[in-house]
Amino acid sequence: MTRRRWIADEVSGDTAALLGDHAAHLARVLRAQVGQEFDIAAGDEIRRGTITTIAVDRVEFALEKRHYPPERDRLKSGPNITLVLAIFKFDRMEWAIEKCTEIGVARIIPVIARRSDTHLAAAAAKRHERWQRIVRQASEQSRRITPPEIEVPIKLKTLGDDGVLPSEGLTRIVLAESLVESAHDTQLGEVLQTHSTGDEIALAIGPEGGWAEAELTWFYETGWTAASLGATILRAETAAIVATAITLEALR
C-alpha cells in the first residue's frame, strides 16, 4: 500500500516536523500514533519517516538514511510553468489552484484584472494564507516533493516590473477568447510546438468575461504571445486546468 506523503515544515538532519494546523490535522483528524510511518518530503528528497512524538501543534518524525532521488530528478526535468491567474469567484478559483497544483505548476501569481470583481479583489490578499494551505495539501495528495510558490495578489501591470517574472528564458503566453485577427487561429498547442522539455512557460488566464481589450493590448506590447484553447468559451477555472495540462503534455 502506498504510504501517505507529508511535506515537512521543519527539517534538521535526520528529523523532521509538521507544525501548527498541518500537525493538528495529522494528530487530531487522522488520529496519528507514535510509530506510524509516512513518506516525508524533506527539502528536495523523499525519505521514510516514523512518528516519534505527537503534540497538538507539532508532530515529529525520525527519518531513515535512505532517500529517493529518481523521483526528485524526474520532477525537476519537466517544464517549469508559472500560472498567472486573474482573480475570480474564490470557490472556483481555489478549485483551479488545487487542480493545477496536482497537475504540476511551479508557481501561481494571482492578479487583479479589470474584470475582477472589486469585492473579491479587495479581499484577495487575505486569502493568501488559505491558498498556501491549499497548494500544500494538494501537493501532498498528488505526491509532489514541494508545493508551488503562490504569490500575494498583484495588479496585472505589476507583472512587467523587474523581478516578478524572469527577464530572459521565459515564454509568455496569454490565453484569450477574442484575439487580434492575425492570431485568431493560433491554438496553444501550435504555440508550444517550438518548445521543449525544461522550458519555462508563463500562462496568463483571464477572469470571467476574459481580459479587457486594454489588457490584451498591454500583453501584446510587452512580448506575450496570444493563443486560444479552441472555439468553445471555457470558464476561467476550466481554462486554467486545460491550458496547464496541454502545456505539460506538449513539453513532456
Cα 127–chain centre separation? 15
Phi, psi of 241, rounded to the nearest 5 degrees: -70, -45
Residues 163 and 199 placed together within one structural domain of the fold:
yes
pLDDT at 26 over 80: yes
The tens digit of pLDDT for each residue in 114-167 reads 999 999 999 999 999 999 999 999 999 998 888 999 999 999 999 988 889 987
In a domain? residue 73: no
In a domain? residue 156: yes
Residues 105 and 25 placed together within one structural domain of the fold:
no
Among candidate residues 68, 91, 112, the one where a domain is terminated: 68
Name the more confident of 224 and 184.
Answer: 224
Q: What is the C-alpha separation between 113 and 87, in angstroms, rounded?
A: 7
In a domain? residue 157: yes
Count of structural domains within the chain: 2
**Chain mean pLDDT for the chain:** 88
Q: What is the C-alpha separation between 100 and 94, in angstroms, rounded?
A: 10
Among candidate residues 23, 39, 68, the one where a domain is terminated: 68
Closest CA to 173 of 147, 136, 199: 199
The tens digit of pLDDT for each residue in 65-118 reads 766 654 544 444 567 999 999 999 999 999 999 999 999 999 999 999 999 999
Residues 43 and 83 placed together within one structural domain of the fold:
no
Among candidate residues 68, 97, 112, the one where a domain is terminated: 68
Residues 147 and 231 placed together within one structural domain of the fold:
yes
Q: What average pLDDT does this structure show over 9-32?
A: 90
At 15, the amino acid letter reads T
The tens digit of pLDDT for each residue in 163-221 reads 899 878 899 999 976 444 444 568 899 889 888 766 799 999 999 989 999 999 999 99
SS3 152: coil
What separation in angstroms does the CA of 1 have from each of 58, 65, 168, 183?
26, 21, 44, 49
| Domain around 10 | 5-68
Residues 101 and 158 placed together within one structural domain of the fold:
yes
Q: What is the C-alpha separation between 237 and 93, in angstroms, rounded?
A: 6
Q: Decide the pairing of beta strands 107-112 and 154-155.
A: parallel
In a domain? residue 243: yes
pLDDT at site 78:
64
pLDDT at site 74:
46
